[in-house]
Amino acid sequence: MEDYLKLVHMELIPENEIDVPANSSFYLPHHPVPNKSGDKFRVVFDGSAKSSTGVSLNDKLMVGPQLQADLTTILIRFRMHKIAMTADIEKMYRQIRLKDSNFQRIVWRDSPFKPIQDFRLTRIAYGTASAPYLAVKCLQQLAIQEEQNFPLASKAALKDFYVDDLMSGANSTTEALDLQAQLIQMLSSAGLVLRKWASNCNELTNLIQEDLRLPNASLSIDDGTVKTLALVFREQLAYGQ
């Protein structure tokens, strides 16, 4: 939660703004979820939790239409590239500002010895029904707006993303390098950072700073595997590079 405050992804509600009509705000329950090793936590917000009225925030939110291709189509297209690349958008939901932040209120304190305070999340909250649609719509709108400046990246953003996961590629190293550069520039123009880069082409991964690559982004035929969209690929065998 301190990370949310530091990044201004949530804000303390001023005293004079706490009391509002019941239909103008909503308080979300939240809890920590540890990773497998237990040394890191992420915060999950329960948009399906019922309030005292018996209605949850998700009951009132519209989910929105499916904007991206189905997973099978994306995976098949990904396997057709001679030069393959994968990455994901860092904290994608938390890069998107939300106007109606009073419907994402929480209560929190950083110590049991301090009073509970009221906060509101200023970015899309993971766990709300509309979050996937809003995030994908923002990505696709960026691609449409920047089509003239970044034609390769625009096409990839519209066809080769599954939510925040990129699975794309090209038929030559030159085209792949151009695509990678355009993707980085286009997304960074909207405050989005691509990380966990991996490829069967070392020229691509070597251009990425080390902290933005997967640990095994440059692979050997003996030990290199990468997990993407919950599937494990042995990249050197799959793509022959």
pTM beyond 0.95: no
pLDDT on residue 241: 43
Find all residues with CB under 8 Å of 191, minimum gap 6, and list them. 95
* pLDDT, tens digit only, all 241 positions of the chain: 888 999 999 999 999 999 998 889 999 999 888 888 877 888 889 999 999 899 999 999 999 999 998 989 999 999 899 999 999 999 999 999 999 999 999 999 989 999 999 999 999 998 999 999 999 999 999 999 999 999 999 999 999 999 999 999 999 999 999 999 999 999 999 999 999 999 999 899 888 888 898 876 553 334 445 555 545 555 444 444 4
pLDDT on residue 219: 38
